[in-house]
Every structure is written in structure tokens, then in C-alpha cells.
Amino acid sequence: MDFITGLGLVAATLTTFSFLPQLLKIWQTKSAKDVSFVMLIFFNAGILLWLIYGLYLSALPIILANGITLFFNLIILVLKIKYK
């Protein structure tokens, strides 16, 4: 694997799994007051389009990164609505 591919993989891993501590924080504190609902709607919509984009191109890294990111952020959205 070349340097640039490795760089992209590390970048994708960092941005994808950064949402796990956010999810766990809301889960534990049962509070999501400061997390913007508008951000979650726009972000989830955008990530869903990225996922469709990846499926069209059959690009596994785009599908994987955005699939996992969407999974985490849909749970964050559900928790945001639940703890409103």
C-alpha cells in the first residue's frame, strides 16, 4: 500500500470512529442539549448521499466509511430526539 492510500485510510478511520465517543457521551449523560438538531439532519442527509455515491461507484472505502458514520450518527439523532 502506498503512502497516500495509507493516509486516506487513517483519515477515514479517524473521522468515522470520532462519532463513537460522542454517541457514548450522550448515552451515558442522557443529555444532548448542546448538540445541534439541524446539524444532525444535514449531516445524516449528506452522509446518506455519500453512501449512495460510493455504491454508484462501487467504491468500498467510501461505502464502508460512510456506512459506519451513518450508523453512528443515526443513533446519535435518535438519542437527541429521545433526550430532548
How many helices (DSSP H) and strands (DSSP E) are in the chain?
A: 4, 0
Size of the site for its own copies (CB under 8 A): 40
27 near its own copies, judged by CB under 8 A:
no
Angstrom distances, CA of residue 52 to CA of 13, 34, 47: 19, 30, 9
Which one of residues 1, 4, 58, 60 is an interface residue with its own copies (CB under 8 A)?
4
1 near its own copies, judged by CB under 8 A:
no
Q: What span, in angstroms and rounded, lies between the C-alpha atoms of 47 and 73?
A: 9
Which one of residues 1, 34, 58, 60 is an interface residue with its own copies (CB under 8 A)?
34
22 near its own copies, judged by CB under 8 A:
yes
Give the distance, in angstroms, between the CA of residue 51 and the centroid of all CA atoms in the same chain: 11
Q: What span, in angstroms and rounded, lies between the C-alpha atoms of 37 and 60?
A: 29
Residues at the interface with its own copies (CB under 8 A): 4, 7-8, 10-19, 21-22, 24-26, 29, 31-36, 38-43, 45-47, 49-50, 52-53, 56-57
